[in-house]
Amino acid sequence: MTTESAPRLLDDAALELSSVVANNAMNRGRGLSGVNSYARELGFDPYRRLAQRLRADPDATVTWIDVCCGEGRALLEAEERFAQEFPSADVTLIGIDLVGFFRARPRTDRLRLITASATTWAPDRPADLVTCVHGLHYIGDKLAVLTAMAGWVAPGGRCAADFDPEEIRRADGSVAGPAVLAALRASGMTFDRRTHRLRGEGPRSPRFPAAYLGADDTAGPGYTGQPSVRSYYAW
């Protein structure tokens, strides 16, 4: 049954040129802690989590990958704090953003700020922390990116992201959220409906019986109040 008029579906190349995807009102300038911060959005402080591991094992290697990092402010702040507290530790910080308007250049080789699409980029090693703060709202094939992010996590690591199941649609426009959440939970990931926080501990392999059809950037505001992108799949 058709629940809405057929949307204009864009492929990744067209979607990435959309002004909605380049929205600078979401994650562009969010810091590590405080009112407008990663700690508030994710429900934990990324720096404290990684620092705790280094305190327990000074010889540990820690890696944080932040997808859709915006200006990279949180990573730049983390870079500075690691330099002060753990100057000799093996720390890798990686920020990926499609727009690439970073607030500053990295101060050390611990930090890499990369202009790339989250749909095609991949790390060269697993990470202790993989995050995406309000970035999935602007990605076309959200399920592919979620699957990739969950698989980038090292044993004992964590994947955490803001996620809106309402943005996942079937070909007829109906919401596919329940099927998506069932697949995520079957893989061992958790989702908090109140906060819209998705989390996975350790590497996970969610499987979705769906084929990506394209995305609609004219759907209007999501739960954040900002315009977002609906992603359509054949199930």
The angle formed by the CA atoms of residues 132, 91 and 99, to the nearest 5 degrees, is 35
Tell whether 2 is covered by a domain. no
Q: Which domain holds residue 44?
A: 12-234
Phi, psi dihedrals of residue 155, rounded to the nearest 5°: -55, 130
Dig out the tokens for 169 from the structure. 């649609």
- pLDDT computed for residue 28 by the predictor: 65
Does 1 reside within a domain?
Answer: no
Identity of residue 227: P
**Distance, CA of 210 to chain centre:** 20
Question: Residue 206 CA to chain centroid, in angstroms?
Answer: 15
Nearest to 11 by CA among 120, 156, 132: 120
Specify the pLDDT at position 5: 64
Indicate whether 4 belongs to any domain: no
Tokens found for residue 188: 């061992």
CB atoms within 10 A of CB 92: 18
User: What is the per-residue pLDDT for 17?
Assistant: 86
**3 inside domain:** no
Residues of the chain with pLDDT under 50: 1-2
Residues 41 and 133 sit within 8 Å (Cβ to Cβ): yes
Which of 137, 102, 131, 121 is closest to 21 using CA atoms?
Answer: 137
How many domains, the chain?
1
Does 82 reside within a domain?
A: yes
Q: Is residue 7 part of a domain?
A: no
What is the phi/psi pair of residue 218, to 5°? -110, 15
CATH number at residue 106: 3.40.50
Q: How far apart are CA 143 and CA 207, in angstroms?
A: 9
SS3 letters across the chain: CCCCCCCCCECHHHHCCCCCCCCCCCCCCCECCCCCEHHHHHCCCHHHHHHHHHHHCCCCEEEEEEECCCCCHHHHHHHHHHHHHCCCCEEEEEEEECCCCCCCCCCCCCEEEEECCCCCCCCCCCEEEEEECCCHHHCCCHHHHHHHHHHCEEEEEEEEEECCHHHEEECCCCECHHHHHHHHHHCCCEEECCCCEEEEECCCCCCCCCEEEEEECCCCECCCCCECCEEEEEC
